[in-house]
Structure 1
């Protein structure tokens, strides 16, 4: 083409806009690349569910399960491929208008699940009602803790039980937002999240940690000398000492990539953290600058906000950290979200299999490491 021949504007303008769009996406929206991660989660086996979002799971003292906490306020039990999923419990008696796909506040939203081995009771952190409990036969759960130190429990999230001390620890992620607004908690800048210690003997609920921005997962370590709590907004994992010379103090245990969700202790004493998604620049700006977060809270729908934070490319990721040092030991990914998306929990069993839950998808996944 001669040098002096001009490119028609109807070709040049769209081309320039396309280039700018690609550059903008790569700078603002593309999820971070994590060095050293293993892109193997797409090989996991999928077990579909009739209801969305098995945010948390657990196995009963007999080893049966998993039991999963779902969008419609119910908890289902897996009975194997022949029998499938059966209803076990629910957190609200109001079942008439419950949806399989959308959270209805009156139906509740069970999140973290913890079985008590010596009784078979299932403790449930409900994102609307508080800490609840249901017996080994299931059915309607009863409220155990609805407030602590004069403040209502607004967003019970995940907890863990010290059976020797008869003490249950759990997160209350916000005093303003319930589960349905979870991403608004992350970007709002508010620090009202707290950790509550419930003494089963005295029935006292006491705040032992506070000043969190959406504290999400919580788990005790193997010898019950400390617990760890992850803050979804910052990716920081905080430690609270329960026993020893440091009892009653806290420190930073680890920092993980992305926005962490539930934490589960492994059979060897390490921890798996489910990661909702990796971070991108726009997400970091929303979290680090309160006015930007507030702008998106007021102007964007929750669905758009979720897409924005994950770069409109939902994917799967889980991080394993040392139970002694907090060092990152392993990162597993499904980078393109072929099989796994929006991981909320990674639960490693004694047989080497890792089960994964999701805060949005209608399935659990099983990865057999052996």
Structure 2
């Protein structure tokens, strides 16, 4: 996680211990940023303001998510929408959860994009986004495309004017859902 100062042009590393950081979102109060750690199926909060004892600290915001989070965005109420690239199923072995314990194998696979592509095409297509409460850190709502017919493998969700706009690596368009 890096910070770029628009005034000075300087770059500073805020946290270099994140696991596959993805989807950075500034909180409503602008005191922290939330970051999806895709391979750990969690969201962490990094404090950038507030009390001196918390500035610079990173903490788990929510763990053991129902999928591997790709991006995170604010809702109209200040909660968070999280889009999931892969859904985790209780009764099925998840390759990405399995690979978590094999860092060298993950590194080797990262240099073989054709193998990753083949693995991705064999994963179940299940579009999922959840609304996460900013206060309780609980999931308050979820939207599923269990067959992946409209939005397979959600990469992005943005709320605007009473609609959700979905992106997916498998779509050539943006899907729209009226709230």
Q: CA RMSD for the aligned pairs?
A: 1.9
Q: 1:250 aligns with which of 54, 58, 70?
A: 58
Structure 2 Cα separation of the partners of residues 250 and 352 of structure 1: 32
Larger relative contact order (CA 8 Å, sep ≥ 6): 1
Q: 2:127 aligns with which of 316, 325, 338?
A: 316
Distance change >3 Å, CA 225–CA 282, structure 1 → 2: closer
CA contact (8 A) 2:109 2:116 kept: no
Structure 1 Cα separation of the partners of residues 135 and 55 of structure 2: 16
Report how far residue 298 of structure 1 moved: 7.0
Secondary structure, aligned partner of 2:100 = helix
Matched, 1:307 2:121: yes
Structure 1 residues not aligned, in runs of 5+? 1-194
Distance change >3 Å, CA 337–CA 329, structure 1 → 2: same
Report how far residue 206 of structure 1 moved: 0.4
The structure that has the greater radius of gyration is 1
CA contact (8 A) 2:46 2:59 kept: yes
Structure 2 Cα separation of the partners of residues 291 and 207 of structure 1: 25
Structure 2 residues not aligned, in runs of 5+? none
Matched, 1:270 2:79: yes
TM-score (norm 2): 0.87
Per-residue CA distance 1:100-139 (angstroms, 9 max, x = gap): xxxxxxxxxxxxxxxxxxxxxxxxxxxxxxxxxxxxxxxx
Q: 1:359 aligns with which of 154, 169, 179?
A: 169
Structure 2 Cα separation of the partners of residues 287 and 307 of structure 1: 20
Secondary structure, aligned partner of 1:301 = helix
Structure 2 Cα separation of the partners of residues 220 and 298 of structure 1: 31
Aligned pairs, how many? 171
Report how far residue 293 of structure 1 moved: 3.6
Q: 2:34 aligns with which of 224, 228, 239?
A: 228
TM-score (norm 1): 0.44
Structure 2 Cα separation of the partners of residues 204 and 334 of structure 1: 43
Match of 1:237 in 2: 43
Matched, 1:261 2:70: yes
Report how far residue 262 of structure 1 moved: 1.2
Structure 1: 4+ residue segments shifted above 2 A: 287-300
Report how far residue 211 of structure 1 moved: 1.2
CA contact (8 A) 2:24 2:36 kept: yes
Match of 1:172 in 2: none
Report how far residue 217 of structure 1 moved: 0.5
Report how far residue 259 of structure 1 moved: 1.1
